[in-house]
Structure 1
């Protein structure tokens, strides 16, 4: 929906709404976890036999971050991403594997260039911030 402001027409709505809401984030995270499931090194970082709960947590987090429902915080509290990832050895190699699968997932959405860049830039910065060791 467009609205007119003092500087002319503007776009209204959250990024979550602009990219397609729940369906888009569901597709993104499902595609990402398809890659994780097939990646033996990265898969080993996920302690649960079923990736479904991790998939749901990531989807809820991303939806909330981008202006969707606050379900993540309602169910899990403050995201505290670094604290939640601390038990796992997230080194640059793990980060790069994560980014490889996330890049494929983002590409699969076929978003307009600005939305694609906005989403990818955030995910790339977040992945770099999660590195907690440089040990192999």
Structure 2
């Protein structure tokens, strides 16, 4: 059975997904609060998300090899993450997924649900 990493198309496909996600976040006018949480340059964010998703999707554990355990919630605690930022993040990720996964509805639905769970786990305030 293929991993989600393999189903997506491997390293280049994960990089393309991450780049599209950040391009959307950077370009869309309805994600200004989410974009403001990031550095002016998204280079490091792109790299870290690519490394994380590689292992999270069943590919090489690149993030762990470079940075150790992801500790996602702890690493995001310095940022105020409200339902607004969560929804903006999910909107960009779901658009990137829909643009990237055009021939595997089950994979698209599974990843959308998984990303929703991760995004909800990152919430640290309701305001």
TM value normalised by structure 2? 0.91
**Long gaps (5+) in structure 1:** 1-11
Corresponding position of 2:119: 127
Which structure dedicates a bigger proportion of its chain to helix?
Answer: 2
Per-residue CA distance 1:40-70 (angstroms, 9 max, x = gap): 2211111x22101101111111110111111
C-alpha RMSD over aligned residues: 1.1
Q: Which has the larger radius of gyration?
A: 1
Give the one of 46, 52, 58 matched to 1:55: 46
Which structure dedicates a bigger proportion of its chain to strand?
Answer: 1
Deviation of 1:111 after TM superposition, in Å, equals: 4.2
**Does 2:111 align with 1:96?**
no
Deviation of 1:83 after TM superposition, in Å, equals: 0.2
Deviation of 1:86 after TM superposition, in Å, equals: 0.1
Give every structure 1 segment of 4 or more consecutive aligned residues whose post-TM-superposition deviation is greater than 6 Å.
none
Q: How many residues align?
A: 123
Give the one of 60, 75, 96 matched to 1:105: 96
TM value normalised by structure 1? 0.85
